């Protein structure tokens, strides 16, 4: 039997600290996995469910977007995937009595951890204007209410439709169609806060905003650079791929301000070596870079390649544009500026240059450490310059590998969840469904907050996610949310965004990946796209938490029916009943999805076309791969301050907190910690174990405070500090965003330290 959810909210400000670990996974992780899952799901349900994760006939892991191998291992999930599954497949339930017992104001005082522990949502709930409690509402009344509020708007642009990246292709396609049919491109999504910088840089330079490598490429690479990513926690199955690459002879370089355990050494729980031995040493060269120093690092290496005649001249001549301008600037790269920006010894940069020049096939993998800075887009462009120089795009064993976060965030974008859709996409959509889609660009996540703050967006609907906790500038964002007429969340679990509401609010519970989805037309399945452009089916098997729970797709279609009535040019009712009919339409609108229904039945699904990868065709403005000129910039930090990055602990999935430990970093029982280099700590008078407030400073003179963080002396690169998100989102100014991509600069917040003002209430 699954354990009861905790009644009290455990104190979160008493973390214990021990030395960081030097290897990841192995037996402790396996034990931890099974224990966590069994606590939520009961042992039998846990084991039978976990064995279906990422199998050809099972469901896609609701954890990260790392792809499955062609022949999945019998146990193709990781510790953190199992936590994601347990979080969703828990046997705990939230029913109407729970909301009757807890006023919204009381729930708003609870931690995200406590809210998540209460179990799956089971009934549509309404918080009416002026009410203190959520009360049950029928599905039909809920849909009628949404339709009423949407119809009352002066313009469809006064509504915004957020998506988190777990939403299936089918639901995402229906959702964006609904928004555009209504007349708006206001489709902000989690990607705006995540890999938007990668999408912006890659679309401009290569013509496709996605990664260009497959797992096979990783296995064949000579050199893999992992920059700004912590796969041991966030993409644990990637470690198995790196191990395989390593055994095939690859050299691995990690570029990170922190020595992350998973990148140091990996103990693969799927083989004997990993369970009883020391595991595999993964990183050959660790570059402990300063926060935001990556642009300078790649520029320096590019200069070395140019000076040492390492350029693939034939590739550049045939496939690239803009080489001369790039070369002229790169040759001027100043060594002192590079040293200051990276904080690395010059010999290490030279060592990287030597490895690069000795390698024919090079892959660069990256995640949030590269995407969440002011200069993220130029940084990723410079990574592309680096790969183009030696022809490392569009041949086996080489390419760009932005490692995506949410399990279907890439698929959602492919399905049209984007505030700036291409004209070609809108043309195809309009032609298929016989309407004129809006052409004006919509709001991304940050612009949505501004629009709600200024009263321009009045209805906010979220397909999953936890908008107020995931976005920056928590106080501003929460006030913005409260100005709305109506806020609606389609969710599996209770979270903070349900408690910071507009005048009226709805919680619409929905099926997750693990749940069986049965409609009048029979059992349905959905499909997803992984980080490497592989599309495949996902089938849940568990009995849903309530009998009348609707899928995300069904919810979208029912809202649409309530808004447009039965005579619409889009057959919403048919879509809701039979997802094959929806996929037949996707097949006609989205390139690469021809024969969608047939291709999904292949084991492992199918791979989407990718011009640069498949044939070195680059659908850019110039028709070639573009070299770019990127001024050497790095964050500036005034004296007496540190640059704070906000990152994930090992026991969380974004705003979902599974537990209070960060095992590999040696932190237990609490999350309000700030990791500071001992030398910086000494200069700033921050003693190990002491408590401090973090105060962020923004260019307009405004300040933001996050009280009561325990100081942890930790081997982070000088000048930087690290603390967990979402607790630190209060510190990130709304206007502090990346150039071009508008992504919040979650990895670069200037902070000073002030005396502790005591625990948060």
Ligand X SMILES: Nc1nc2c(c(=O)[nH]1)N[C@H]1C(S)=C(S)[C@@H](COP(=O)(O)OP(=O)(O)OC[C@H]3O[C@@H](n4cnc5c(=O)[nH]c(N)nc54)[C@H](O)[C@@H]3O)O[C@H]1N2
Find the binder of ligand X among 50, 147, 258, 365 (CB under 6 A): 258
Among Mo ion, ligand X, none, residue 164 binds (CB under 5-8 Å by kind): ligand X
Which CB sits closer to Mo ion, 194 or 341?
194
Query: Are 190 and 406 spatial neighbours (Cβ–Cβ below 8 Å)?
Result: yes
652 is a contact residue toward ligand X (CB under 6 A): yes
Per CB under 6 A, 732 contacts ligand X = yes
DSSP 474-512: HHHHHHHHHT-SEEEEEESB--GGGTS--SEEEEEEB--
Give the CB-nearest residue to Mo ion. 405
Residue 47 Cβ vs Mo ion, minimum distance, rounded to whole Å: 29
Q: Give the residue, chosen from 214, 448, 466, 538, that forms a contact with ligand X under the rule CB under 6 A.
A: 466
529 part of the interface to ligand X, by CB under 6 A: no
| 729 vs 249: CA distance, rounded Å | 41
CA dihedral 598, 601, 606, 609 (to 10 degrees): 10
> Does the protein bind ligand X through residue 367 (CB under 6 A)?
yes
**Structure tokens given for 205:** 């330079």
Tokens of 158: 């006064």
Structure token digits, residue 704: 């933001």
- Contact partner, 470, from Mo ion, ligand X, none, Cβ < 5-8 Å per class: ligand X
441: nearest Cα among 192, 618, 737, 733: 192
Asked if residue 195 lies in contact with residue 496, where contact means CB atoms within 8 angstroms, the answer is no
**422: buried, middle or exposed (CB in 10 Å: 19+, 13-18, 0-12)?**
exposed
Is residue 77 within 8 Å of residue 85, measured between CB atoms?
Answer: yes
CB of 190 to Mo ion, least distance (A): 6
CA distance 503 to 145: 13
Choosing among ligand X, Mo ion, none, which partner's interface includes residue 234 (Cβ < 5 to 8 Å by kind)? ligand X
Q: Which does 367 bind (CB under 5 to 8 A by kind): Mo ion, ligand X, none?
A: ligand X
For residue 591, count CB atoms less than 10 angstroms from its CB and return exposed for 0-12, middle for 13-18, buried for 19 or more. exposed
Binding test (CB under 6 A) with ligand X, winner from 552, 662, 693, 697: 552
Please give the structure tokens belonging to residue 106: 């009381």
Q: Which does 742 bind (CB under 5 to 8 A by kind): Mo ion, ligand X, none?
A: none
CA distance 551 to 277: 45
Q: Per rule CB under 6 A, is residue 158 in the interface with ligand X?
A: no
Name which position in 642, 647, 675, 730 contacts ligand X (CB under 6 A). 647
Q: Which of residues 264-323 bind ligand X (CB under 6 A)?
A: 289, 291-292, 294
The only residue of 229, 501, 551, 677 in contact with ligand X, by rule CB under 6 A: 229
The C-alpha R_g of the chain, in whole angstroms, comes to 25
- For residues 153 and 356, which CB has a smaller minimum distance to ligand X in the complex? 356
User: Quick one: which of 29, 147, 261, 368 contacts ligand X (CB under 6 A)?
Assistant: 368
By CB under 6 A, residue 656 contacts ligand X: yes
Burial 144-160 (b: 16+ CB within 10 A, else e): ebbbebbeebeebbbbb
> Residue 379 or residue 620: which is nearer to ligand X going by CB?
379
* Contact between 655 and ligand X per CB under 6 A: yes
In total, the chain counts a number of residues equal to: 761
Compute how many residues bind ligand X; rule: CB under 6 A: 62
CB nearer ligand X, residue 184 or residue 198:
198
Q: Restricting to residues 193-212, which ones interact with ligand X according to CB under 6 A? A: 193-194
Q: Which two tokens stand for residue 103?
A: 């006023």
- Does 626 help bind ligand X (rule: CB under 6 A)? no
The footprint of Mo ion (CB under 5 A) covers: 194, 405
Backbone angles phi, psi at 480, to 5 degrees: -65, -45
Binding site for ligand X (CB under 6 A): 62-64, 80, 164-166, 190, 193-194, 227-230, 233-235, 255-258, 260, 289, 291-292, 294, 367-369, 373, 405-406, 463-467, 470, 490-493, 495, 510, 512-513, 552, 645-648, 652-656, 725, 728-729, 732, 746-747
């Amino acid at each position: 039997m699954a354990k009861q959810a905790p009644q009290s909210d455990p104190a979160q400000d008493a973390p214990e600290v021990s030395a960081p670990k030097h290897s990841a996974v192995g037996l402790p992780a396996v034990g931890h996995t099974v224990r966590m899952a069994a606590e939520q799901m009961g042992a039998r349900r846990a084991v039978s469910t976990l064995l279906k994760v990422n199998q050809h006939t099972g469901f896609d892991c609701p954890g990260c977007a790392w792809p499955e191998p062609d022949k999945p291992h019998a146990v193709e999930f990781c510790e953190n995937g199992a936590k994601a599954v347990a979080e969703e497949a828990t046997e705990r339930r939230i029913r109407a009595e729970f909301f009757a017992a807890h006023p919204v104001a009381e729930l708003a005082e609870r931690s995200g951890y406590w809210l998540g522990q209460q179990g799956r949502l089971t009934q549509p709930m309404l918080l009416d204007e002026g009410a203190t409690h959520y009360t049950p509402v029928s599905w039909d009344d809920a849909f009628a209410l949404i339709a009423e509020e949407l119809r009352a708007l002066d313009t469809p642009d006064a509504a915004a439709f957020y998506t988190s990246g777990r939403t299936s292709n089918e639901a995402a396609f229906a959702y964006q169609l609904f928004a555009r049919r209504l007349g708006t491109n206001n489709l902000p999504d989690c990607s705006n806060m995540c890999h938007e910088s990668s999408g912006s840089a890659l679309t401009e330079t290569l013509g496709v905003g996605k990664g260009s490598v497959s797992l096979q490429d990783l296995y064949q690479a000579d050199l893999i650079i992992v920059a700004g990513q912590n796969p041991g926690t966030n993409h644990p199955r990637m470690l198995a791929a790196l191990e395989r690459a390593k055994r095939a002879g690859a050299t691995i370089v990690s570029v990170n301000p922190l020595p992350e355990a998973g990148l140091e050494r990996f103990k693969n729980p799927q083989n004997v070596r990993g369970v009883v031995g020391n595991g595999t040493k993964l990183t050959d060269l660790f570059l402990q870079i300063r926060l935001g120093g990556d642009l300078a690092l790649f520029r320096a290496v590019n200069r070395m390649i140019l000076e040492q005649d390492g350029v693939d001249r034939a590739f550049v001549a045939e496939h690239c544009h803009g080489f001369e301008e790039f070369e002229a600037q790169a040759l001027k790269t100043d060594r002192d500026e590079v040293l200051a920006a990276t904080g690395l010894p010059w010999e290490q940069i030279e060592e990287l240059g030597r490895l690069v020049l000795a390698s024919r096939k090079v892959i660069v993998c990256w995640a949030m450490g590269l995407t969440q800075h002011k200069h993220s887009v130029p940084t990723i462009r410079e990574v592309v310059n680096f790969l183009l120089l030696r022809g490392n795009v569009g041949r086996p064993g080489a390419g760009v590998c932005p490692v995506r976060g949410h399990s279907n965030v890439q698929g959602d974008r492919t399905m049209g969840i984007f505030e700036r859709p291409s004209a070609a996409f809108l043309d195809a959509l309009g032609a298929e469904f016989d309407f004129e889609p809006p052409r004006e660009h919509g709001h991304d996540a940050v612009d949505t907050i501004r629009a709600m703050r200024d009263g321009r967006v009045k209805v906010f609907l979220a397909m999953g996610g936890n908008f107020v906790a995931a976005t920056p500038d928590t106080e501003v964002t929460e006030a913005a949310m409260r100005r709305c007429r109506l806020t609606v969340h389609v969710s599996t679990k209770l979270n903070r965004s349900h408690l910071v509401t507009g005048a009226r609010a709805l919680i619409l519970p929905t099926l997750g990946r693990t749940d069986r989805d049965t409609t009048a037309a029979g059992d349905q399945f959905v499909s997803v796209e992984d980080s490497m452009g592989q599309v495949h089916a996902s089938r849940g098997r568990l009995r849903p938490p309530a009998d009348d729970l609707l899928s995300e797709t069904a919810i979208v279609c029912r809202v649409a029916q309530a808004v447009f009535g039965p005579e619409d040019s889009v057959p919403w009712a048919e879509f809701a009943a039979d997802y094959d009919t929806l996929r037949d339409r996707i097949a006609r609108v989205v390139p690469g999805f021809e024969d969608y229904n047939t291709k999904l039945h292949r084991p492992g699904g199918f791979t989407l076309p990718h011009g640069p990868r498949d044939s070195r065709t680059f659908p850019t403005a110039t028709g070639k791969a573009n070299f770019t000129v990127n001024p050497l910039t790095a964050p500036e930090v005034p004296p007496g301050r540190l640059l704070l990055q906000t990152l994930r602990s090992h026991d969380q999935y974004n705003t979902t907190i599974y537990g209070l430990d960060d095992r590999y970093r040696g932190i237990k029982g609490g999350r309000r910690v700030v990791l500071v280099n001992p030398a910086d700590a000494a200069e700033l008078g921050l003693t190990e174990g002491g408590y401090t407030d973090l105060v962020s400073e923004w260019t307009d003179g405004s300040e933001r405070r996050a009280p009561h963080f325990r100081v942890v002396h930790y081997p982070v690169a000088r000048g930087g500090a690290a603390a967990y998100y979402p607790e630190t989102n209060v510190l990130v100014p709304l206007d502090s965003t990346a150039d071009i991509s508008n992504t919040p600069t979650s990895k670069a917040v200037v902070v000073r330290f002030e005396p502790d003002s005591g625990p948060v209430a």
